[in-house]
Homo-oligomer: A and B are copies of this chain.
Amino acid sequence: MIQNLNEHQKEDLQEALAHGGQKVTPQREVVYAVLLAKRDHPTVDEVFQRARESMPGLSLATVYNCLETFVGCGLVRQVNHERESTRYCPNLAPHAHFRDESTGRVHDIELPDHVLTTLRSLLPSGFETEAIEISFHGHTKNSRNHTSN
């Protein structure tokens, strides 16, 4: 079901891992491939289920480990909504998330630079931002397909 990584993606993975002195492993490849295959912000458990289709022996702990490693490398982002299970996103462009309450689905919302600039300008002096998280929640009316991928 899940495609293997192409050369370009393999390179990205290898390079990102190398930064933190870490290596490519079969498990990491599978987990990364799962994230790229369907960019629907899966939970750890969803990643686990999908990854097991190509690697049945894979353990949940490893999925946690891989994802944590990727986040550390800046390869993927964690997405949290309230107290729900953490979801993962391989979209590296600056973007916000929209959580549809009816379906539970999470959609990427592109963020123009000027918005981030404006937001940073709201901070009192002395506040140094490392990251800004923006998340919407609501519903998506009709408008046929909002499929993430």
Residues of A with Cβ closer than 8 Å to B? Answer: 78, 80, 82-83, 86, 96, 98, 101, 107, 109-112, 115, 118-119, 122-143, 146
Contacts and interface: CB of A to CB of B under 8 A. Distances in A.
A126 B138 contact: no
Nearest to A109: B122
A137 B129 contact: yes
Contacts of A126: 140-143, 146
Contacts of A138: 127-131
Contacts of A118: 115, 118
Contacts of A124: 109, 143, 146
B146 A136 contact: no
